[in-house]
Chain A
Amino acid sequence: MALIFHRGIIANSQFFSRSSGVLFRRLRASRSCTSARGEGTANTLKEELIQVAPKRALEPNTHGFEAIIGIETHVQLFTLTKAFCSCPYVYGSRPNTTICPVCMGHPGTLPVLNSKVVEFAVKLGLALNCGLSMTSKFDRKHYFYPDLPKGYQISQFDIPIATKGFIDVDLPVEFGGGHRRFGITRVHMEEDAGKLLHSETGSYSQVDLNRAGVPLLEIVSEPDMRSGIEAAEYAAEIQRLVRFLGISNGNMQEGSLRCDVNVSVRPIGQSKFGTKVEIKNMNSFSAMNRAIDYEISRQVLLHSQGQSDQIFQETRLWEEGAQKTFTMRKKEGLADYRYFPEPDLPEVVLTKEFVDKLCQGLPELPEAKRRRYEKMGLTMQDVLFLANDNHVAEFFDASLENGADPKLAANWIMGDISAFLKNERLSITEIKLTPFELSELIASIKNGTISGKIGKEILFELLAKGGTVQSLIEEKDLVQIVDPAAIEALVDKVLAANPKQLEQYRAGKTRLQGFFAGQVMKESKGKANPLVLNQILGVKLKGES
């Protein structure tokens, strides 16, 4: 049983390690080389290519209460090596295969900071509009648990690398839309712990230290969210941000993006916060939305029944099956982590040049993309779809650079292309269609070289097999027939072949025009220009030759 379980994960992981690496290279090059394509690479983002907008949950009936929501997000960075040693981290590896004396906490070992962690932290800090601490430090956070090899976690306590920022979010249209700005309290660097594998009988547990020492950024929000959808969108925006920045795969199922949500409820008008409850174990944005709304309802109910004292400061787990939160543990006073400065690591000192360089190298971020797309006249629905995934956005932008009409390109991407991706379970980086060919296709339809119908056929050909619009049109002789004489000949042929229908038409059954149009189109193998065709057909049917 356990073995099968592992095998599944291993396959998945190999797949992931490859894709992460490629993804990273791509993103770094993306500014100068927009047509770069990760052909043949695995599909990191396929399962979430299309934003699953959380289904409208039952809006909690808040009865004069308001919910206060704050989120702590842990983002696992996909650096090549761990934060403080040279072990790789590959999700799903066989237990205890990517470990060394340092991340196992052997006696005498010392941490050495991976400079990429600082680079990624600064990028995220900048992207979240934070102030950076030019000198920060690491601290030790102490607690005993078998997945924590050293008995302390290297983290940042009183001087985090970034503080006081904000993030802009556009709520999905189906949830009423709207723009929100949520405060970011801090971003700090720390290391992940290992994992415990509990035996089925519960009689023993095993420790897997593969994840121990993997770099994390913890992002703490201000308590600015008021509903499940706001919280879910905040988290989704963090995911977009880390993916756009190329610092994490942001995958919730793998635990690369983990959100702990604090929810409290208070009567509207009261300034004092209610007792806060922490919710864990939500592995999708939609689950976050539902879990929070459930928790708000639960607390509001207790408040309105005069049982607010039954709301405890505790950690609750979201159970997907029951669609409810359950108590995991009650907090027994505050844990004392006995923080003190990590003596094994020097201070982290940033130079202005280092920060400036990273700042200049930042890609266009989701918020900026959305505002740009909005200015192009796209609908918010389109905007949110296109800016949701950095690969889709890159594809879209690249086709615009080749002169494609934004609205048409958006329609193609959101319609047939995205349907194809969904059916074939592919990511947009894996298809054979290039943004250039999409713009060619759009142009060919626009200038009347081919019909929209033919365009669709060509699109599927391009998606599956590649090639160019030009060669496909020539190869298959698909150029639209616009010559009135040629079309007239076709019409004559069809009318001659269907005297009975012609008679009926002329007797008043005018809706038969559709039948004739279809026959002519068939005769032209779909190439006849429909406009010209209908014009000529109309004249001919009425016998006004």
Chain B
Amino acid sequence: MPPPPVRSPSRLLLCHCRLPFHISPQTRLPLSHNSSVRRRFHCSAVSAVSALSSDPQIAPTDLTTTPPSSHILSIRESLLSRRRTAADVAGEYLDRLRRTEPHIRSFLHVSETTMREAEEVDRLVASGKDLGPLAGVLVGVKDNICTAGMPSTGGSRILEGYRPPFDATAVRKLKEAGAIVIGKTNMDEFGMGSTTEGSGFQVTANPWDISRVPGGSSGGSAAAVSAKQCVVSLGSDTGGSVRQPASFCGVVGLKPTYGRVSRFGLMAYASSLDVIGCFGASVIDSAIVLNVVSGHDRFDSTSSTHEVPDYASFLMSTDHFESTPLKGLKVGMIRETIGDGVDVGVISSIKAAALHLEELGATITEVSLPSFSLGLPAYYVLASSEASSNLSRYDGVRYGNRATVDELNSLYGDSRADGLGPEVKMRILMGTYALSAGYYDAYYKRAQQVRTLIRKSFKDALEKMDILVSPAVPSPAYKIGEKVNDPLAMYAGDIMTVNVNLAGLPALVVPCGFVEGGSAGLPVGLQMIGSSFSEEKLLRIGHIFEQTLPNYRFVPPLFLELV
């Protein structure tokens, strides 16, 4: 395996010089070409949280100002200019993590070697050696992604205390790029859930309102980035597990094309749907992480050999925005995602976001995906079927928790009964049923046929459109406990995202507005879906969208209180 592409420091510096946060607002003048539209936006979409709208001219040192800036490049610039040390940066994040963690509980394990690793980066800086693109960047890693020597439980009691003997390929690449794994983030057990309430260990709170869920299953990773407990994080997305919590927590979430990122080291939930994705406070940060973790891996036969472009290259053109940088872009709004069953506030946020895209030069057309509603049942059949198979290995024989019994069947029965949670058991049962002789054709096979239909309808739509947009979730973050006893309601929340996994397409969620709730409003994310391996395009559009969206400020109140 060749090392991940490492851009030369000089080139990165060049990028850095053009970064929005480093540039005075005046240089971005072309972006604010139409103040009247701006106001219109302000009124329609962000009215509920107008209190949050901040002065767009906040000093560049404040990393959370409008528009969002790259924390990764900021850290890099600090290190290279010797303004800060990696140890300083790590200390700052660790300090914040310690203060916020009792409220949010996004980590299942916090690394004890973070400071040592940061000092190592500082020695590298001092020696003048080349720095990896993520040198000194603190990364949270979802607990179902294997980290050598660090506990990796997948949020399950059955793997309590399990430390894998190897790093997942994505983690290895992050480390090779200089990143420091700050800890393992909480999740619904084995990725099965949309709230993190399904974790075998703890419930994570939403930094925007700690009485609410952060979403899931990568809730810990999303909350940690939102609360700035880490710079960026890795999640996994089987049916929306990156995009839904990104929307709930007001961060950028990227689900790459199936096969773009190696799954080696990702504990399998549904192998044909699982993808490792990432969270960042900005599109740029997500792009830089994707750059590092993408690419073919000989340890994952389903990883693609498709060329990895420089996903962060759009940085170069940031200060050359035309007045309508998205001119000619054809955007399809998925009709089925903005109708019944979707929160009114969410719909208006999404419509406002669409208007903003229009302002940037895009044309918006409503498109219909006729098979859209079939996605949810097909997804739950396929994902459960694969899960029932993938989770067979957790039997207590070779690793993980083993029940103390003296008979083989009880060894299996008790180890799994004690170690696995109710949601996981339910899905194993559903999957086992769907794969059973006599039911296979009616469930698994039929669901695969639906999957083919869905793929085709996306393909058709994406032949006419450049990208498709929809909400990432039909609602904002809900209360902890609200859907615990109503799994069907929770499953229904995945309607916007599961189709994308079934089709294997890339999707980017960018915060786009707020709805009422909590002390400061609750964030809403816009989902942008592209054709296979079109991450570059999605990131560029997302970047322009995010950099030009008026009053873009997604800083959770908890963070403001504690800092």
Taking Cβ atoms with an 8 Å cutoff, the residues of A that contact B are 101, 104-113, 140, 142, 144, 146, 149-152, 207, 209, 334, 336, 338-340, 343-346
Task: Contact check, B165 vs A106: say whether CB atoms are below 8 A apart.
Answer: yes
- In the complex, besides A107-B146, A110-B268, A343-B272, 10 extra interface pairs with C-beta distance below 8 angstroms are A104-B398, A107-B144, A107-B267, A108-B267, A108-B268, A112-B299, A151-B395, A209-B398, A339-B435, A343-B270
List 23 A-B pairs, Cβ < 8 Å. A104-B398, A105-B398, A106-B399, A107-B159, A107-B164, A108-B265, A108-B266, A108-B267, A109-B265, A110-B263, A110-B301, A112-B298, A140-B389, A142-B392, A142-B435, A144-B412, A146-B397, A149-B393, A149-B398, A151-B392, A152-B392, A336-B437, A343-B386
Closest 5 CB pairs of A and B: A151-B392, A343-B271, A338-B435, A343-B272, A107-B267
Complex CA gap A209/B397 in Å reads 12
User: Which of B164, B298, B391, B444 is close to A108, meaning CB atoms less than 8 Å apart?
Assistant: B164
In the complex, which residues of chain B have a beta carbon less than 8 angstroms from the beta carbon of A105? 393, 398
In the complex, which residues of chain B have a beta carbon less than 8 angstroms from the beta carbon of A113? 301
Q: A151: nearest residue on chain B (CB-CB)?
A: B392
Complex CA gap A343/B146 in Å reads 20
In the complex, which residues of chain B have a beta carbon less than 8 angstroms from the beta carbon of A101? 164-166
Q: Is B408 on the interface with A (CB-CB < 8 A)?
A: yes
In the complex, which residues of chain A have a beta carbon less than 8 angstroms from the beta carbon of B265? 108-109
Q: Given A151-B393, A336-B437, A340-B440, does the pair A110, B264 have CB atoms closer than 8 Å?
A: yes
Q: B145: nearest residue on chain A (CB-CB)?
A: A108
Complex CA gap A469/B271 in Å reads 67
Q: Is B385 on the interface with A (CB-CB < 8 A)?
A: yes
Q: Is B162 on the interface with A (CB-CB < 8 A)?
A: yes
Complex CA gap A101/B399 in Å reads 11
Task: Contact check, B436 vs A110: say whether CB atoms are below 8 A apart.
Answer: no
Q: B146: nearest residue on chain A (CB-CB)?
A: A108
In the complex, which residues of chain B have a beta carbon less than 8 angstroms from the beta carbon of A209? 398
In the complex, which residues of chain A have a beta carbon less than 8 angstroms from the beta carbon of B399? 106
Task: Contact check, B301 vs A109: say whether CB atoms are below 8 A apart.
Answer: no
Q: Is B418 on the interface with A (CB-CB < 8 A)?
A: no
Complex CA gap A101/B267 in Å reads 13
Q: A85: nearest residue on chain B (CB-CB)?
A: B299
Quote the shortest CB–CB distance from A150 to chain B (angstroms): 5
Complex CA gap A105/B395 in Å reads 11
Q: B265: nearest residue on chain A (CB-CB)?
A: A108
Q: B262: nearest residue on chain A (CB-CB)?
A: A110
User: Interface of chain B, helix or strand or loop or mixed?
Assistant: loop
Task: Contact check, B152 vs A151: say whether CB atoms are below 8 A apart.
Answer: no
In the complex, which residues of chain A have a beta carbon less than 8 angstroms from the beta carbon of B263? 108, 110
In the complex, which residues of chain B have a beta carbon less than 8 angstroms from the beta carbon of A340? 385-386, 389, 435, 440, 444
Considering only residues 330-360 of chain B, those with a C-beta below 8 Å from chain A are none
Q: Is B179 on the interface with A (CB-CB < 8 A)?
A: no
Q: How many residues of B contact A (CB 8 A)?
A: 45
Q: B386: nearest residue on chain A (CB-CB)?
A: A343
Taking Cβ atoms with an 8 Å cutoff, the residues of B that contact A are 144-146, 152, 154, 159, 162, 164-166, 168, 263-268, 270-272, 298-302, 385-386, 388-389, 391-395, 397-399, 408, 412, 432, 435-437, 440, 444
In the complex, which residues of chain A have a beta carbon less than 8 angstroms from the beta carbon of B268? 107-108, 110, 344
Complex CA gap A180/B397 in Å reads 47
Q: Given A140-B389, A151-B389, A344-B271, does the pair A146, B165 have CB atoms closer than 8 Å?
A: no
Complex CA gap A108/B432 in Å reads 21
In the complex, which residues of chain B have a beta carbon less than 8 angstroms from the beta carbon of A108? 144-146, 152, 164, 168, 263-268
Q: A336: nearest residue on chain B (CB-CB)?
A: B437
User: Interface of chain A, helix or strand or loop or mixed?
Assistant: loop
Task: Contact check, A346 vs B302: say whether CB atoms are below 8 A apart.
Answer: yes
Q: Given A150-B392, A151-B392, A338-B432, does the pair A345, B267 have CB atoms closer than 8 Å?
A: no
Quote the shortest CB–CB distance from A165 to chain B (angstroms): 28
In the complex, which residues of chain A have a beta carbon less than 8 angstroms from the beta carbon of B393? 105, 107, 149-151
Most chain B CB neighbours (cut-off 10 Å) among A207, A339, A344: A344
In the complex, which residues of chain B have a beta carbon less than 8 angstroms from the beta carbon of A150? 392-393
Complex CA gap A242/B530 in Å reads 50
Complex CA gap A74/B464 in Å reads 53
Complex CA gap A140/B263 in Å reads 19
Quote the shortest CB–CB distance from A193 to chain B (angstroms): 12
Task: Contact check, A142 vs B152: say whether CB atoms are below 8 A apart.
Answer: no
Task: Contact check, A345 vs B301: say whether CB atoms are below 8 A apart.
Answer: yes
Complex CA gap A72/B494 in Å reads 46
Quote the shortest CB–CB distance from A321 to chain B (angstroms): 28
In the complex, which residues of chain A have a beta carbon less than 8 angstroms from the beta carbon of B298? 112
Task: Contact check, B301 vs A207: say whether CB atoms are below 8 A apart.
Answer: no
Quote the shortest CB–CB distance from A24 to chain B (angstroms): 24
In the complex, which residues of chain A have a beta carbon less than 8 angstroms from the beta carbon of B166? 101
Complex CA gap A338/B263 in Å reads 24
User: Which of A109, A140, A207, A339 is close to B397, meaning CB atoms less than 8 Å apart?
Assistant: A207
Task: Contact check, A144 vs B395: say whether CB atoms are below 8 A apart.
Answer: yes
In the complex, which residues of chain B have a beta carbon less than 8 angstroms from the beta carbon of A336? 436-437
Quote the shortest CB–CB distance from A10 to chain B (angstroms): 23
In the complex, which residues of chain B have a beta carbon less than 8 angstroms from the beta carbon of A142? 389, 392, 435
Complex CA gap A112/B412 in Å reads 28
Task: Contact check, B299 vs A110: say whether CB atoms are below 8 A apart.
Answer: yes
Complex CA gap A424/B505 in Å reads 67
Complex CA gap A113/B408 in Å reads 31
Q: Given A338-B432, A345-B301, does the pair A107, B392 have CB atoms closer than 8 Å?
A: no
In the complex, which residues of chain A have a beta carbon less than 8 angstroms from the beta carbon of B299? 110, 112
In the complex, which residues of chain A have a beta carbon less than 8 angstroms from the beta carbon of B432? 338
User: Which of B162, B389, B398 is close to A338, meaning CB atoms less than 8 Å apart?
Assistant: B389
Quote the shortest CB–CB distance from B141 to chain A (angstroms): 12
Quote the shortest CB–CB distance from B380 to chain A (angstroms): 15
Quote the shortest CB–CB distance from A135 to chain B (angstroms): 16
